[in-house]
Amino acid sequence: MKEFSDDQYCFVCGRENPFGLHLKFEHNPDTQTVSVIKSFPREFQGWHGVLHGGIISTVLDETMFYAVAHRGIKCVTAELTVRFKHAAKIDTIYTISADVTDIRDRLIFTKGKITDPDNKVVATAIGKFIKVE
Q: What is the pLDDT of residues 67-126, one digit of tens each?
A: 999 999 999 999 999 999 999 999 999 999 999 999 999 999 999 999 999 999 999 999
Q: What is the spatial order of strands in the sheet that 33-38 belongs to?
A: 26-28, 33-38, 94-104, 107-115, 121-131, 75-84
Residue 83 forms part of a structural domain: yes
Residue 38 forms part of a structural domain: yes
CA–CA separation, 99 and 39 (whole Å): 21
pLDDT tens per residue, range 30-57: 998 999 999 999 999 999 999 999 999 9
Residue 104 forms part of a structural domain: yes
- State yes or no: pLDDT of 9 exceeds 80: yes
Model confidence at 2, in pLDDT bands (50, 70, 90)? low
- State yes or no: pLDDT of 1 exceeds 60: no
Residue 4 forms part of a structural domain: no
Question: What is the count of structural domains for the chain?
Answer: 1
Read off the pTM.
Answer: 0.93
Domain that holds residue 110: 26-131
Residue 8 forms part of a structural domain: no
Residue 94 forms part of a structural domain: yes
Residue 105 forms part of a structural domain: yes
CA–CA separation, 122 and 116 (whole Å): 7
**Once rounded to an integer, what is the mean pLDDT over residues 16-23?**
90
What integer pLDDT is reported at residue 28 of this predicted model?
94
Residue 46 forms part of a structural domain: yes
Question: Taking a C-beta distance cutoff of 8 angstroms, is the pair 112, 97 a contact?
Answer: yes
Q: Alpha helices of 6-97 — where are they, by DSSP H?
A: 53-69
Q: What is the CATH number of the domain that holds 63?
A: 3.10.129.10
What integer pLDDT is reported at residue 11 of this predicted model?
86
Q: What angle do CA 7, 13, 16 make, to 5 degrees?
A: 45
